Amino acid sequence: MGSKKKISVPAKLINGGVAGLVGVSCVFPIDLAKTRLQNQQGQGVYTGMRDCLVKTLRSEGFFGMYRGAAVNLTLVTPEKAIKLAANDFFRQLLSQDSRKELTLVREMLAGCGAGACQVVVTSPMEMLKIQLQDAGRLAIHQQKVLGTDGPPAPFSQPPQDRPYTTGTASAFKRPSATVIARDLLKTQGLVGLYKGLGVTLLRDVPFSIIYFPLFANINKLGQRHSEEKAPFFHSFVSGCVAGSVAAVAVTPLDVLKTRIQTLKKGLGEDTYNGIIDCARKIWTHEGPAAFMKGAGCRALVIAPLFGIAQGVYFIGIGEYILGYFH
């Protein structure tokens, strides 16, 4: 009976952090398009991902496509690190000495535990990121509703006689994650930063239950022997496939999360009082197809994000760094 190889938590944290930074840097503009498409109600500003990116580039410049990236890059390291390390921890905890492979049910339980742990960071991170990502869409939406011809000037002031529907500051001003977080903490306390925690759990737990077992089993196909790692490219592809499948599967929950966590709404757009109210209004006013808004973008974001994450994770950069300093 072979002894189980102990996981190195610091190494896994480094791996998860590096993977998150690389992945987010590569796919963030698509994630921005996903948020803006999901927040559209009725006659939208954008017809699709490409149209969204082109209009964003024209009205806000190249860096406009990375609005919200700073908060994501800051918090994605602990988020990805917790997710990947927690999954490893729960897999080891649920494994039995006499068995080298987990049953599917135990793999799903490990994924469930990982998804539940990560929301401590994911919920406030995404809540802040969404406000920054959606500001440009709100600017164009406001101009459209007011009947102003031509594209809006980036971050311009709205007319004073038509105040913005929510919030005290103009939606057209460049928002700051620090200011948003400070205002929420001042007015609502820590609860404000965790707005949408319940729906984030509803999205991330099923995602992890699908993703981790699917990845483990696809990745296993690339292992010639049970003790050796799959090749880098196989781990990358396994992460891409498992990530895209899981992402599309939970897209309806992601739409609910995006809508609920968006603090500012455009003129005439619905506001929501909880998950059930949000689901009911989307179904009634926009139809069932609205629950799949941004599904393509989400798959394009999550596939490389988790492909890169698993590739870096299995290369063992963290183990290398810790070994170098020892």
Tokens of 99: 């068995």
- pLDDT bucket at 12, cuts 50 / 70 / 90: confident
Length of the chain in terms of residues written: 326
Looking at residue 159, its pLDDT comes to: 39
- pLDDT bucket at 9, cuts 50 / 70 / 90: low
Task: Give the predicted TM-score (pTM) of the model.
Answer: 0.80
Element (H, E) at 300: helix 295-315
Topology adopted by domain 9-325: Mitochondrial carrier fold (1.50.40)
Looking at residue 299, its pLDDT comes to: 92
| Of 314, 94, 106, residue with least CA distance to 220 | 314
Measured CA to CA, the distance from residue 304 to residue 282 in angstroms comes to 29
> Using one digit for the tens of pLDDT, what is the confidence trace for 34-49?
999 999 987 778 989 9
3-state secondary structure of 173: coil
Of 69-73, 138-142, 173-177, 196-200, the least confident: 173-177
- pLDDT bucket at 153, cuts 50 / 70 / 90: very low
156, pLDDT greater than 70: no
The set of residues, in sequence order, having a beta carbon less than 8 Å from that of 84 and lying 6+ positions away, is 12, 15, 16, 19, 114, 309, 313
- pLDDT bucket at 165, cuts 50 / 70 / 90: very low
- pLDDT bucket at 57, cuts 50 / 70 / 90: very high
Question: Are 243 and 303 a contacting pair, CB within 8 Å?
Answer: yes
3-state secondary structure of 51: helix
> Using one digit for the tens of pLDDT, what is the confidence trace for 92-123?
888 865 556 788 888 889 989 998 998 999 89
**How many beta carbons lie within 10 A of that of residue 159, not counting itself?**
10
Looking at residue 1, its pLDDT comes to: 38
